[in-house]
Structure 1
Amino acid sequence: MASYDRPRAGGSPRPPATKGTWWYAAVAGEAAGSFSARVRTRTRRGCLGAVLLLTVVYAGLVLTATGRRWGDAAMTGRRADAVAVTLLREHPSLTGLTTLSLVLGCVLLLATGLIRRRYALTGLAAGGVVTALAVTGLLQRYAPRPRAADTAGLLSSGFPSAQTTLALGVAFGLALVVPYRLRSVAVGAATLWAAAVGAHTLAAGQHRPGDVIAAALVVLAVFCGLLALLARKGKVRPGARRGPAAPGLPVTVPLALLAAAGLGAGLWLLGDTLALPATAPYDPAELRLAHRCGQALAAGVVAATGLVLLGLLRRVDIEGAPTPYRLGGPFVEAAGVPADAEVVGPFTEDLDHEIS
């Protein structure tokens, strides 16, 4: 009991057992080393790191001539990639299926939150998706870039990719509305789907690899900011040690392999593809290599962002069941409250305690 909390005259000089009371828990939640403060710090650092990486990607792949040449080569190289050409020719319905999957993903996100009656978090998840799409649209419209004529007749830069932003936004939004034990399964599977959506946009020539990479970083920055806001509001709680890790292994292991293989292969091939000549003609083998390098890097970055989000939310329960606080001590005993009864509030009915 603090020095300014004193029992009334005639009360017991023995301080009450205040461990676990709600007001001490509230004060502990604002402490520098509290659980909420740690979650807020790491999610805020994740947001700032994603923004920094987004700036590096924009400067390297959009503003520099070498980055633009590599992106153009990756887009042109899809025609020289027999695997991509054959897949799109034999399955022309993939474009329609991709659009339908995006619509179903949005419906799944909203339905999951509404069925579980997590209305506030459902609205927050939907707001995160809308915010990411808004940032994507603003970057596409107002971010400085070279003129379309500089791209030699190719598609103008769609930096970042709206399709990948929507798909990965739905994947990250599921982290707010699904049960704690199913988070790894839901987010991991949805991230794999988002990587497939990004790969289709590259194979179809709708976006460059840098557009998909930038979309993943935009979504990561937005949702890390939302998680930092939730932690600041005290809406995060320690999760169970046997949480979503073990049930999610069938999904997170392939996601980790995709991230490692994609980033490793993409960075290994990047050195060769950046050495393209400044002017045409280009070797078709070099263009095909640039396309595969872009596919690997984009898939690796999308998978890595999903793993980063799951790592930031490790053993973090969002808006879980409130921690049951119990009161004890002489004041509760004097009021005749049974030992196993729950007491709501810091004071008993006889108000045998005052705070001055």
Structure 2
Amino acid sequence: MTGAAGVEDGSAAWLGALPGSRHPVAAAAVVSSGNLTTAYRGTGPDGDFEIGSLSKGLTGLLYAEARTRGEIGDGTTLGDLLPLRDAPAARVTLESLSTHRSGLPGLPRSAHPTRRTLALWRHGTNPYGEDLDQLLDQARGVPLGKPRPRYSNLGFELLGHALAAAADTPYAALLRRRVTDPLGCDDFYVPATADQLRPGALTGRSRRGRPREPWTGEAVGPAGGVRATLTGMARLTAALLDGSAPGVAALEPVAPFGSGARIGAAWITVRMKDRDVTWHNGGTGGFRSWLGLDRAAGTGVVLLSASAAPLDRYGFALLAEVGAAADAPDVR
């Protein structure tokens, strides 16, 4: 990648489109024709963000890579890899987890999601924090629903840890070994506790600007616990576009997912103005993230914000703008 530029005052039009009052700390990257442009507001290249459910996209890459390596197959179940005993969740295939159609709920009732959500709203507390043993205890008591499309944090938590078990290593180490290291960066990490945050870790804030505790925890890592800098996210975007990213087959849609959308291993593809957009977003108590690819045009966009204010529409709009510019004839 060439042509990198950092703009700290947000003067780049495509970062300036984010309202500063709602996104005072933000970063953006555009990858087009192998060139990278970056911009920062209220932070710099060392600032690391919670990427929330974009972590699922990374787990999707790990899933596709594990299939390529022959570590898992079509019929591999959670019970083959995790000590779930005779729990219903043991029968769930990793393939169904990768496309959110396993029958697992979004979160287990034993995690008291309503109570934790209220604590987040009122006090900004981390609603996660479980270790792997606690996650498995919760999963053993979860009944299965119909195997229809249903977004599941629990499902991707279990998927990531099952992939790690197949490789005989913790999830954080698996991500580092198979995605981060091959991409040549150490910008991604999975803090199990707040004291594992790096010096550049930003503090997330609610839509009203109130500080939020970091979302850390061993269990949540594969579904929403990864942190990264814009540099790392931009490098990932470039590798997804040129096909050099490990597990890039995760981008290929294999099943319907909602109205007009299709899904691969976590990654969603939608048709927008005669263009296919492959994307994923993320949100935590104090952060928002968005990564989108127009693979036909060879363009990609990353937006990161240390605010819980919505971000998606800006990402889609910027990607459409960049893709149109890439298609425009070069008049000399």
TM-score exceeds 0.5: no
Q: Which has the higher contact order (CA 8 A, sep 6+)?
A: 1
From the two aligned structures, give the one with the greater strand fraction.
Answer: 2
Q: Which has the larger radius of gyration?
A: 1
Q: Normalised by the size of structure 2, how large is the TM-score?
A: 0.25
